[in-house]
Each structure stands twice: as structure tokens, then as C-alpha cells.
Amino acid sequence: MDKFKSIALFMSTIETGSFAATAKKHSTDPSTVSKAIKRLEEQLGLQLLYRSTRQLSLTSAGQKYADTVGSLYQQLESCEQELKSDNNSYSGALKINLPVSYGRMYMLPMLSQFKKTYPEIQLDISFNDEYVDMISDAVDVTIRSGTLNDSRLVAQKLSPMPFVLCISNEGVSSKGVSNKLVTSSEIDISNKGLSVLPWLLFRFKQTGRTMPINFCYQGCHINVEPKNVTIVDDGEAMAQMCAEGLGLSLMPHFTAKALVVAGKMRVVAELDEFANSGVFIVYPKRKYLPKRTQLFIEFVKAYLKEIGELPSKTWLDSPLKPS
């Protein structure tokens, strides 16, 4: 038995006046209480209690020890109760990190609903696509795509993250300027067929690298090097430009959704090699997860389910998806 537990039993015995009452309070037996206090006396080299068949009383050393340790023990108990209350309450601060496009397109409506439901929880939200060390930056929850390689964190899959090949609902010019438009049904998904069309390419801000047009479709490898390209470093802007007919574009399913549902853009193909990727909600591994963090995680999952996003499927699998 550790020293703190022995002190707790000693202080309770002073309060209750007997080993039996203390044992009942702590769900143990009187002999365990007596032995714990005896062990504490041996560690101190002092007698803390006078024992008789009728009652227990403090020695002068026991009184001094109780006066000193008692106040510290009460402060510690008070602190523990406060922390437990905070951990289990629907209040306190919640620091959230979200990817820019996913955060804006999927999370903003949910964040408003969450705040209205739990107004006492103070949200601290950051939108960025850079790597965040959740531990050193004290982030409570983040959303990430890809794979997780940090044993300090826990990840729950929210949905797959298929990439899609998109085109404007009106089609796209084979030269980018003429009135002759190639529609979604006329696109030849081959190296030759795709290379003659204009493209919008995504550039990663962190590295400056441009995402290549390199994917598998129905078992065939596609590697396109188009001559007519526009490079964009913002996913939402790229999707909007695609919808306006400036070129074909590869993008995550969540970037495409709003414009496809609005009838401004069409999905030409879903790509094969992104089938095992996913979107995850991530939080630090800990024995006791704060109630506010648990609430947020469950709120996110429930909201995504409402809009067709589940661990095994996305809105692309919905029968209501525009064809």
C-alpha cells in the first residue's frame, strides 16, 4: 500500500474515530486499516495513535502530523475533485485543428451546431494543412487523412477518402478556347485521351510539389502529362475553376461534393488506388478522455453519418448522388 493511501486511512480514522468505521468508508476491513497506520508509524518512527479496547486518540506527534498533513491532504482531495468534475463536465476549453478544405466544406455547419448544443464548451479552432504535433501544441482533437504513425495518438476512421476525376457539367474545350466542348460522357480515360484536354493541377503549399496525374482506373495505369495546365494551391478554388470549365481536375471526394450536388460539376471516374485511404479523427492517447472531447468526437461522427459519410462509405455511394 502506498504512503498516500496510508495517510488517507489515517485522516479518515481521526474523522470516524474507529478502524471499523474507516474500513466501511473505504470498502476494506479493519485489520487493513490498522496495518496501514502501523506501517505509517514505522516509516515515521513515531507513534501517531493511542490504541485501547474502547477508543483511539492522537498522540502529540499524531496531532502535529495530522495538523500539517491534514491541510495538504484536503487541498489534494479538493484538487482531485475539481479535476474530475472538469473532466466529466460539459464545459472547459477544446482545442481543435482542422484541414482547410475539409474543415470549411464539412465541419463548419457541424461546429455551429455543436456550439449551440454545448455553449459552455469554449472552442479554439485552427484551420491549416500543416503537420501539427498534437502533444506539444496541446491540441485536443484533429482531423487527418492518410495513415497514422504516432503511437501517442488514437485515430478513429470517419470515412474512406476516394479521389475523383471531375469535369464541369457543361463540359470542357479540347483546346480550352474553342466552342467545341467535350462532355463527361465523351471523355476517353486513357493517356492519349486525357493529355489533349486542359487540366487544373493542385500544388501543395508545404512542399511546392504539384500533384501528378498518375492513377489507376479499372485496372489500367494512367499517367498524363498535359500541355495545357493551370496550377492552383487551394482545393476549393480548384474545384470552382473546374466547375467553370477551365479544365479537368483530380480532387478528394469532399472537395467535389458541393459542386456535384449543385449540378455544376460531374464525377467522371473514381480512382482505384485511393480506396484504402481515409479521413480520421485523432486525439491524444490517455486513460481518461475529457467528457467534452468525447462529446465532440461523437457529435462529429453523428453529423457525418447524416450527410452520408461512414467508416466504410461516402456520399459517392449514395443512391441520391447525381449521375
What domains are there in the chain, each with its CATH number? 3-86 (1.10.10.10), 92-161+277-317 (3.40.190.10), 163-270 (3.40.190.10)
Q: Does the pLDDT at position 184 exceed 80?
A: no
Distance CA 111, CA 119 (A): 11
Distance CA 241, CA 237 (A): 6
Read off the pLDDT of residues 113-143 as tens digits, 9 standing for 90 and up.
Answer: 999 999 999 999 999 988 888 988 899 999 9
Of the two residues 170 and 158, the one the predictor is more confident about is 158
Read off the pLDDT of residues 59-111 as tens digits, 9 standing for 90 and up.
Answer: 988 898 888 887 777 777 766 666 665 555 677 899 999 999 999 999 999 99
In the prediction, which pLDDT does 144 show? Answer: 92
Computed over every residue of the chain, the mean pLDDT equals 86
For the chain, the C-alpha Rg in angstroms (whole number) is: 31
In the prediction, which pLDDT does 81 show? Answer: 63
Q: What values do phi and psi take at 260, rounded to 5?
A: -70, -45
3-state helix, strand, coil in the chain (%, to 5): 40, 25, 35
In the prediction, which pLDDT does 240 show? Answer: 96
Read off the pLDDT of residues 193-236 as tens digits, 9 standing for 90 and up.
Answer: 898 899 999 999 888 999 999 888 888 888 998 989 999 999 99
Confidence (pTM):
0.70
Strands in 141-145's sheet, in edge-to-edge order, are 121-127, 92-98, 141-145, 278-284, 153-160
